[in-house]
Amino acid sequence: MIIPVMDIKNNIAVSGKSGNRDEYQPLKTVFAPSAHPLEIAKALKEKGAQELYIADLDSIEHKGSNLDLVGKINKLLPVMLDCGAHDPESVTKALKFADKVIVATETLKSMDDLHQTFAKVDRQQIILSIDLVQGQIYSRNMDLDWEKLRENLERLKPSQIIILDISKVGTRKGVDWDVLDQLSGLGSIILGGGITSNDLEDISRKGVSKVLVGTDLHSGKMEPLF
């Protein structure tokens, strides 16, 4: 299943490449004539989308938030939200606006925060995102390697894990299969970052049933197979 991606900045849907967020521009999408997130979400629902991935870039960068807008979208279509939530308090707050909240390695401050979050919040509403840059685990606040990460994931047993290569966003460069193999057997995987229609068959063969797609979906290069 394809999960459409929408990045929001200053209440507008935006798009860009490789995580260079200062250079993101208003999103041009085949689903709507404008970059207004609510209008796009309505169109995606009409096309059959079952859920929506939203990155609130202002919240992630500590430059404000778009949470009220996210809450309106969530009433239309269940949202999995990345807003920089990283501990029980921030995850609980975010769940007032979204169906599920993403805790991402990019903004996670400590493994203790992650374990506390899983202990205090309904784990079915938490999605762990393993963010990558050039195939390496990306975190602003911690030194993480695959061995340490896998050890913690085996203890936490998250219901869903996103693997998102930020450096591939908007590039159409496809999947790093070695990274996928690093996390085999740990839970339900959602892949994102540079995925094209040519990758879907191989992704399915690897046992991954959900993918995050932005660029190819909004440009009309990928069929909306929701």
The CATH number of the domain where 139 resides is what?
Answer: 3.20.20.70
Global pTM value: 0.93
Tell me, yes or no, whether 226 lies in a domain. no
Tell me, yes or no, whether 48 lies in a domain. yes
Tell me, yes or no, whether 224 lies in a domain. no
Tell me, yes or no, whether 225 lies in a domain. no
pLDDT(181) > 80: no
The two three-digit tokens of residue 87, written as one number: 């501990």
Q: Work out the pLDDT band at 18, boundaries 50, 70, 90.
A: low
Please give the pLDDT value at position 209.
Answer: 84
- Provide the domain count of the chain: 1
Neighbours of 101 (CB within 10 A): 24
Mean pLDDT of 82-97: 97
For 78-142, list the strands marked E by DSSP.
Answer: 79-82, 100-104, 126-133, 136-137
Tell me, yes or no, whether 223 lies in a domain. no
Mean pLDDT of 40-57: 97
Tell me, yes or no, whether 86 lies in a domain. yes
The whole domain housing 13 covers: 2-218
For 60-110, list the strands marked E by DSSP.
Answer: 79-82, 100-104
Q: Work out the pLDDT band at 194, boundaries 50, 70, 90.
A: confident
Please give the pLDDT value at position 117.
Answer: 97
3-state secondary structure of 68: helix
Q: What are phi and psi of 10, to 5 degrees?
A: 55, 40
Please give the pLDDT value at position 17.
Answer: 63
Contact criterion met (CB below 8 Å) for 105 and 84:
no
The count of residues in the chain is 226
Mean pLDDT of 27-47: 97
Tell me, yes or no, whether 40 lies in a domain. yes
Q: Is 180 exposed, middle or buried (0-12, 13-18, 19+ CB in 10 A)?
A: middle
